[in-house]
Amino acid sequence: MTEFTPWSALLGGGLIGLASGILLLLSGRVAGVSGIAGGMLRPEPGTVGWRPAFLLGLVIGVWVFGALGGNLDSIRVAAGWPALVIGGLLVGFGTQLGGGCTSGHGVSGISRFSARSIAATVLFMTSAGVTVYVARHVLGGGA
């Protein structure tokens, strides 16, 4: 069971929006993480450097949080190896087929009222919720 943390969630969300806004206004690019990561696998000439720089930034951001005294010790991944591998494959394949994930569709798309992104977000939230329901309450006995 986790604690309800609306204020840190709001602040963190605001920073995610700020980061996406900076990339949009200063570079004219959409901060969709699955698109940025997927694009690294088939690099176009002249656009190579910024993608790994953004992804490295994500990692550095977590280190900055730790350096500022943020608690990272309580983070645990409950999933076993089969779930990690299958989940990773589905997330990779699905985000490329669907053209985005929680950042590209969920943040950048919904904030410009894109019907496509709103539909994608409703769909992946729903299938994620159903997956958790089945895993925890049907197969897992309500853990």
What residues from 75 to 104 belong to the interface with other proteins (CB under 8 A)? 75-79, 81, 83-99, 101-103
What residues from 114 to 133 belong to the interface with other proteins (CB under 8 A)? 114-116, 119-121, 123-133
Told to check if 141 binds other proteins by CB under 8 A, we report: no
Q: How far apart are CA 94 and CA 116, in angstroms?
A: 15
- In the complex, the smallest distance separating the C-beta of residue 109 from other proteins, rounded to whole angstroms, is 9
- In the complex, the smallest distance separating the C-beta of residue 18 from other proteins, rounded to whole angstroms, is 5
Give the other-Cβ count within 10 Å of 88's Cβ: 11
Told to check if 69 binds other proteins by CB under 8 A, we report: no
What residues from 46 to 65 belong to the interface with other proteins (CB under 8 A)? 49-51, 53-65
On the 0-12 / 13-18 / 19+ scale of CB atoms within 10 A, 73 is exposed
The two tokens of residue 104 are: 């590209």
- In the complex, the smallest distance separating the C-beta of residue 48 from other proteins, rounded to whole angstroms, is 9
Q: Which of 32, 41, 36 is nearest to 51 (CA)?
A: 36
Told to check if 41 binds other proteins by CB under 8 A, we report: yes
Cα separations in angstroms, 89 against 60, 94, 95, 102, 138? 25, 8, 10, 16, 23
Told to check if 45 binds other proteins by CB under 8 A, we report: no
What residues from 10 to 39 belong to the interface with other proteins (CB under 8 A)? 10-31, 33-34, 37-38
